[in-house]
A and B are shown apart, each in its own frame.
Chain A
């Protein structure tokens, strides 16, 4: 009975004819656990589609009401709370898996002939995935989200010629307003997912057409004139059917990933909603989510004059280099140990991102608005002028960027022992004129204030701290 129904469906639709060869196509042996990240990314994407659709049943994409609906989702509706958590950790998983997938294809030089177009479409998919992350963060529509729109718009504004127009597109107007969230909703829910799906189709089709790359062997470079023939010989001699010989690993890994996502969703919950969106609440520090946080540090630490070039040129060059890479390196060795430059590049990128990332966790460049006044113990037994200077050190904002003892910021030099390094004349000069990252206080401080402040800083010597 079932067989007859099955036969009828197959006869009329030919679905099996379509899928059969996909399932049974031969893949090279040895394509083991390192080959699971692409399918994991796909599964994460599917999870995002499903949880995203379900969330859209309850979320209200309105500039004035979205936050309330999110609060409801997060606080009053356990199942939606769970959905939101899964959607968040699914996004995290998708970005992590995209990263690992890319790292693997780069290290194994899978982008070389004949899989150049796979890599190029993957590059666009990578940027689309990041765009999904950014637009998704905006849909949280809390204080951080609206200010992130402003920051994103200002960043787009650095694009030559069309910058201001792009910025207005992001804001959906001349400033934040009723259309801003609707537009981000449309981008996040329709435009980018459609673009991703449209690119995923060829990205996956090419896996079938060109086959997955065999694990690289040292001393066996890619030669475009013979590669395809050799690949087919390899498959005929030693290939195994994709299903289930290779696919079982994809399934196991994807299931592990999904179990992990659900586990994190249950134990950690969705990302914290900060205050309600309010463009008139100025006490706020907008920050991107983790995957862009390192770039936030880059923008703080590059030489200031580079900003207009790096802010747009940086991502632009990264995209172009990645996108065009397979056209410039289409043949040759694939084994990572035979590609020292590639290994070097990966190391530099990973160490670099890691370093900027860790800096972003404590933001040494940010003023410490809430630094308390220096304690009597830190100030020590000093003259009345120096006492007054210690108060000024706090009140004039010095402490927001400079550290004395265990108090203060990190932007400027630590001044705990500045009395050892600079004398009164040098201190006065420095304070009056400022510097690259320091305001000139000549017009801000009166002559007496300057004297008091210098008197205080002169007392900052190790001998003094040894006495208490």
Chain B
């Protein structure tokens, strides 16, 4: 423990050479770290940008729904993995406006995403978490929600009602059907 390291003037240990060796070591180490680190970070962070396929999902036949009535429907998400189980499914509120026109609302409150409940007799959506309320057209009626309920693309296809799978509307924006 007490011996001093050999004097730095020993052959081959001049300060210039040391600086080069240190520089090379740090640069090589950095290279190896990037070589592995970039793909590792990419793999971990890919959900931030990865797009899932968008699919039209049948939620029922047109005549299953009464005009003017709003009901909860459920369907499978776009890119669901087999091991997602029931968590691969999602819900929407579907209202039949006319014989051919439907509106589909996100069930997620625009405040913090809690599931709003449709109150048929009151004609309102109400959120259990912080008391947000929406009118039947999805507009904010009261409470903290900053935006109306998001609307999902919905269509009638061969007598079936279909909803386009849509990412959770985090900032209220729903990408258009392509």
Binding site for B on A (CB under 8 A): 62-65, 146-147, 150-151, 153-155, 157, 163-169, 171-181, 183, 276-280, 282-286, 296, 299-300, 304, 307-308, 365-367, 369, 395-397, 400-401, 411, 434-440, 443-444
Q: Give 11 pairs: A residue, B residue, CB < 8 Å, sorted on A.
A: A163-B170, A177-B80, A181-B87, A299-B111, A300-B130, A365-B131, A366-B131, A369-B119, A400-B122, A438-B141, A444-B122
A282 in contact with B48 given A62-B83, A157-B171 (CB within 8 Å): no
Given A171-B168, A177-B79, 10 more A-B residue pairs with CB atoms under 8 Å apart are A154-B111, A176-B168, A177-B84, A278-B87, A280-B91, A304-B143, A365-B131, A367-B128, A369-B117, A395-B121
**In contact, A146 and B87 (Cβ under 8 angstroms):** yes
| B86-125 to A contact mask, C-beta < 8 Å, 1/0 | 1111110000000000000001100111111101011110
The 3 closest A-B CB pairs, nearest first, are A64-B85, A397-B122, A178-B81
Given contacts A175-B77, A304-B146, A150 and B50 within 8 Å (CB-CB)? no
Chain B, Cβ-Cβ closest to A303: B144
Whether B49 is near chain A, meaning CB under 8 Å from some CB there, is yes
Known: A147-B114, A154-B108, A174-B51. A438 touches B131 (CB 8 A): no
Name which residue of chain A comes closest to B92, CB basis: A280
Chain A proximity of B21: nearest CB distance (Å): 28
Q: Is the CB of B144 within 8 A of A64?
A: no
Distance from B72 Cβ to chain A, minimum over Cβ atoms (Å):
6
Contact A299 B86 (CB under 8 A): no
Query: Contact: A283 with B112, CB < 8 Å?
Result: no
CB distance from A338 to the nearest CB of B (A): 41
Residue of A153, A279, A282, A365 near B87 (CB, 8 A) is: A279
CB < 8 Å neighbour of B126 from A174, A304, A369: A369
Q: How far is the CB of B2 from chain A (nearest CB, A)?
A: 15
Residues of B within 8 A of A282 (CB): 72, 91, 107, 115-117
**Which B residues touch A168, using CB under 8 A?**
47-50, 167, 170
Cross-chain contact A176 with B90 (CB below 8 angstroms): yes
Main secondary structure of the interface of B (DSSP, over half): loop
Chain A nearest CB from B138 CB (Å) reads: 13
Interface residue? B129 (CB, 8 A)? yes
CA distance A154 to B74 in the complex (A): 21
Does A366 contact B170, Cβ atoms closer than 8 Å? Answer: no
Q: Is the beta-carbon distance between B113 and A169 smaller than 8 angstroms?
A: no
The reply to whether B146 and A167 form a contact with Cβ atoms under 8 Å apart is no
B86 touches A278 (CB 8 A): yes
Provide the bound-state CA to CA distance between A456 and B99, in Å: 38
| Interface flags, B121-156, vs A, CB<8A=1, else 0 | 111101111110101000001111110000000000
Q: Give the distance to chain B from A363, nearest Cβ to Cβ, in Å.
A: 8
- Report the minimum CB–CB distance from A292 to chain B (whole Å): 13
Interfacial chain A residues near B117, Cβ < 8 Å: 282-283, 369
Report yes or no: B79 in contact with A366, Cβ–Cβ below 8 A: no
**Chain B interfacial positions (CB closer than 8 Å to A):** 45, 47-52, 72, 74, 77-91, 107-108, 111-117, 119, 121-124, 126-131, 133, 135, 141-146, 167-168, 170-171
A443 CB contacts on chain B under 8 angstroms: 135
Kindly state the separation between the CA atoms of A178 and B82 in the bound complex, as whole angstroms.
7
B33 to chain A, nearest CB (A): 16
A299's partner among B72, B84, B130 (CB-CB below 8 A) is B130
Inter-chain CA distance A164–B48, complex, in Å, is 8
Contact B84 A178 (CB under 8 A): yes
Contacting residues, chain B, for A179 (C-beta < 8 A): 47, 81
* Chain B residues near A155 (CB-CB < 8 A): 112-113
Residues of chain A lying within 8 A (CB to CB) of residue B142:
434-439
Counting chain B CB atoms within 10 Å of each CB, the highest count among A165, A169, A280, A296 belongs to: A280
CB distance from B32 to the nearest CB of A (A): 20
A307 and B144 within 8 A (CB): yes
A367: which B residues are within 8 A, CB to CB? 126-128, 131, 133
Are A173 and B52 within 8 A (Cβ)?
Answer: yes
Instruction: Tell me the smallest distance from the CB of A309 to a CB of chain B, in Å.
Output: 11
Nearest chain-A residue to B45 (Cβ)?
A169
Which residues from B are CB-within-8-Å of A277? 86-87
A177 & B88 in contact (Cβ 8 Å cutoff): yes
Residue among A280, A284, A366 making CB contact with B130, cutoff 8 Å: A366
Residue of B nearest to A186 (CB): B44
A440, B134: Cα distance in complex, Å = 10
Bound together, the chains give a CA A174 to CA B174 distance in angstroms of: 12
Cβ-defined contact, B87 with A180, below 8 A: yes
Q: Which residues of B contact A151 (CB under 8 A)?
A: 112-114, 129
Whether the Cβ atoms of B86 and A164 lie closer than 8 Å is: no
**Given A367-B128, A435-B142, residue A284 in contact with residue B115 (CB < 8 A):** yes
User: Are A173 and B47 CB-contacts (below 8 A) given A64-B84, A178-B83?
Assistant: yes
CA distance A419 to B86 in the complex (A): 50
Is there an interface contact between A411 and B131, defined as CB atoms closer than 8 Å?
Answer: yes
Q: Is the CB of B112 within 8 A of A299?
A: yes
**Shortest beta-carbon distance, B169 to chain A, in Å?**
9
Residues of A within 8 A of B124 (CB): 397, 439, 444
The one of A64, A285, A308 in contact with B128, judged by C-beta atoms closer than 8 angstroms, is A285
Minimal beta-carbon separation of A158 from chain B (angstroms): 9
Question: A157: nearest residue on chain B (CB-CB)?
Answer: B170
Closest Cβ of chain A: how far from B57's Cβ, in Å?
12
Task: Find out whether the CB atom of B128 lies under 8 angstroms from the CB atom of A169.
Answer: no
Q: Which residue of A lies closest to B119 (CB)?
A: A397
A411 to B135, CA, bound (A): 18
Q: Which of A178, A365, A437 contacts B88 (CB 8 A)?
A: A178
